[in-house]
């Protein structure tokens, strides 16, 4: 299991240290080092990120305000020199916080906490392989059968996924989008955005790099655009 990370800190030495610790840790993968929250926003728009190490005190936009502005699934570990910010961190659902200055031993301790969290989410995943025409998911203390051809799209919502089904209420299930993607047949379902998987057979309309399902517009991000264009090219008249 590789947890995709970014580090955000306006202090160059602190940023270099955290990036070095991430690279040193086998189960972490460094996607980017960002000197500001605005840099991080750009990275998030182009990449899948699971975990962010975020400095709280930054100019222009603080780490707390940055995290509050997000509408994504990334988990947060705050890095700060001020213990009084810990409560604020947990109010925005941070996994943990570490007080500066800290060494690798303390960093590894909080990284292992994150690893345990992601492993728990992975375990709460699909109950049965989707190798036929259906799958089983755990939802609201029940196990629910869902036919693959009834799925329109799937949206990642932090630790949950929302499976949108034709003519029915969406199904919420505790799992990661990545783990569900691995269960679905790749010739029928495609990840087109860090937060969306679509049923290729249910696509009716595409407009300006957006797939339209009723009133929902799903963007095709740069990371997945080539693969999606290849799918379209094989079927274009």
Taking residue 6's Cβ as centre, other Cβ atoms within 10 Å add up to: 24
Residue 94, both tokens: 């941070």
The fourth-level CATH superfamily of domain 134-233 is LytTr DNA-binding domain (2.40.50.1020)
CATH-assigned architecture of domain 3-123: 3-Layer(aba) Sandwich (3.40)
Tens digit of each residue's pLDDT, the chain (237 residues): 789 999 999 999 999 999 999 999 999 999 999 999 999 999 988 888 899 999 988 888 888 888 888 866 688 999 988 776 655 655 567 888 898 899 999 999 999 999 998 887 766 555 545 567 888 888 877 888 899 999 999 998 877 899 999 988 899 888 888 888 888 988 899 999 989 999 999 999 999 889 999 889 999 998 899 999 999 888 776
- What's the pTM? 0.63
Please state the domain extents for the chain.
3-123, 134-233
The partner residues of 80 in beta bridges, in order of sequence, read 99
- Three-state DSSP state, 229: helix
The angle subtended at Cα 155 by Cα 233 and Cα 197, nearest 5°, is 25
- What order do you get walking across the sheet with 75-80 strand by strand? 28-34, 3-8, 51-55, 75-80, 96-99
């Amino acid at each position: 299991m590789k947890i995709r990370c970014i580090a955000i800190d306006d202090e160059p030495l602190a940023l270099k240290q955290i990036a070095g610790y991430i690279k040193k840790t086998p189960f972490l993968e460094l996607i980017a080092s960002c000197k500001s929250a605005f840099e991080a926003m750009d990275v998030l728009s182009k990449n899948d990120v699971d975990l962010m190490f975020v400095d709280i005190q930054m100019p222009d936009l603080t780490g707390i305000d940055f995290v509050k502005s997000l509408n994504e699934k990334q988990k947060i570990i705050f890095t700060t020199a001020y213990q009084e910010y810990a409560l604020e961190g947990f109010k925005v659902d941070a996994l943990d916080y570490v007080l500066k200055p800290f060494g690798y031993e303390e960093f590894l301790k909080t990284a292992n906490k994150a690893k345990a969290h992601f492993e728990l989410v992975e375990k709460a995943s699909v109950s049965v392989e989707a190798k036929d025409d259906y799958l089983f998911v755990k939802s609201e203390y029940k196990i629910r059968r869902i036919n693959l051809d009834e799925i329109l799209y799937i949206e990642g919502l932090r630790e949950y996924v929302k499976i949108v089904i034709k003519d029915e209420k969406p199904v919420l299930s505790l799992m990661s989008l990545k783990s569900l993607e691995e269960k679905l047949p790749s010739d029928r379902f495609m990840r087109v955005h860090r937060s969306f998987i679509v049923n290729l057979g249910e696509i009716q309309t595409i407009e300006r790099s957006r797939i339209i399902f009723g009133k929902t517009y799903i963007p095709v991000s740069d990371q997945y655009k080539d693969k999606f264009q290849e799918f379209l090219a094989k079927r274009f008249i």
